[in-house]
Amino acid sequence: MIIARTIKEVRENIGEWRREGLSVGLVPTMGYLHEGHASLVDRARAECGKVVVSDFVNPTQFAPNEDLEAYPRDFEHDCNLLEEHGCDMVFYPSVGEMYAPNAATYVEILDEMPKQLCGKTRPIHFRGVCTVVSKLFNIVQPDKAFFGQKDAQQLAVIRRMVRDLSYGIEIVGCPIVRESDGLAKSSRNTYLNAEERKAALVLSKAVFRGEELVRSGVTDSGKILAEMTEIISAEPLAKIDYISAADGETILPADEITDGVLVAVAVYIGKTRLIDNFIAGGLK
C-alpha cells in the first residue's frame, strides 16, 4: 500500500493507474478507522480497479468550541486496517499540504439544506465538509466516492454539491455498520466511559422503534418522533440535540413519512455528541 503525504505523490500514482486503464474509488475519512470505514473500502474494492483512502482530520469543519484537538488519531492502526482490506493508497496530508497559510476559498451550499439538523448547532460544519471533499475530488479525480449512511446529511450535501458543480463522480452511499448491541460505529464512541457506552444504546433503540412504527404503517412523523423522544429522554445521561424527520434529498422538514424520508437523531451522551438515523423505504 502506498502512503502518500503530498498532492504531487497522489497525482503521480493516479496518473500511472489511469494510463493502465484502471478506475479509481475514493473513500474520504478523518482517520481512527473502524469496521464502518472498512465496509466502505470493501465496497470500493469491489467496484473499482484501485482504491484511495484519505486520512485527514479536517480543521475547517470544526468550530472553535469543538473537539478538533481531541479528535482520536491512530495512523498506524489505520494503515493496518486499510492493508487488510485491500486499499491501494492512503493519502495522509498535513494541514499545510491541504490548506495554504492564506487560504480564503470555500465551497458552500447557499440554501437551507446545510442549516438543518446538524447544521443548526454546527453552522460552519458543512462549508468545511464541502470544501475539503471538493479538494479531495480535485486531487484524486475518482470515478466513484464512497460515504457512509450514518452521516446522512453529509451524504445528501455531497450529492447536492456534486450535482451543482457538475462533478463527473458517482456518489455511493453505504449502509450503517453497527456494534453487536446496535450502537452505530463511530470514532467518537471511544470518548465514552463504560456507563456512557451503555447509555448510548438509547440512540439505536429509538431508531429501531422508529423503523418499527414505519413498518407498522405509521406515517405521521410527529407520532414517530414523539415515541423516539420518549425513549431517549428516559436516559439521564442523554441530552437531545435534535430528533427530526426530513426529506432525504433536500433535508427540509417532513411532516409525513414516505419513501426516502430521513429520520435522524443527534444526542449528547455526557459530553460526546453521537448521531444515528434510518431512511424510510418500502412504503405504499
| Residue 43 backbone zone (phi > 0: left; psi -120 to 50: alpha; other: beta) | alpha
pLDDT band per the 50, 70, 90 thresholds, residue 283 = low
pLDDT band per the 50, 70, 90 thresholds, residue 129 = very high
DSSP conformation class of 117: T
| pLDDT per residue as tens digits for the range 199-218 | 999 999 999 999 999 999 99
Sign of CA dihedral 163, 164, 169, 173: negative
CA–CA distance, 147 with 214 (Å, rounded to integer): 25
Measured in degrees and rounded to the nearest 5, phi and psi for residue 167 equal: -70, 135
What is the predicted pLDDT for the residue at 208? 98
Catalytic, 37? Answer: yes
Given a contact cutoff of 8 angstroms between Cβ atoms, the answer to whether 153 and 264 are in contact is yes
Mean pLDDT of 59-74: 94
pLDDT at 278 over 80: yes
Give yes or no on whether 2-174 and 187-277 have one common fold: no
| pLDDT per residue as tens digits for the range 18-48 | 999 999 999 999 999 999 999 999 999 999 9
Choose, from 34, 37, 85, 125, the residue flagged as catalytic: 37
Nearest to 36 by CA among 222, 221, 273, 275: 275
Ordered by start, the domain boundaries in the chain are 2-174, 187-277
pLDDT at 84 over 60: yes
What is the predicted pLDDT for the residue at 284? 52
251 Cβ contact list (under 8 Å, min separation 6): 112, 113, 114, 116, 117, 153, 156, 157, 262
What is the predicted pLDDT for the residue at 281? 87
Considering the chain, what percentage of its residues have pLDDT values greater than 90? 98
Domain made up of 187-277: CATH architecture: 2-Layer Sandwich (3.30)
CA–CA distance, 165 with 163 (Å, rounded to integer): 6
Report the mean per-residue pLDDT for the chain.
Answer: 97
CA–CA distance, 130 with 216 (Å, rounded to integer): 37
Mean pLDDT of 209-238: 97
Supply the CATH classification number for the domain 2-174: 3.40.50.620
pLDDT at 197 over 60: yes
What is the predicted pLDDT for the residue at 107? 98
**146: enclosing H helix or E strand:** strand 144-148
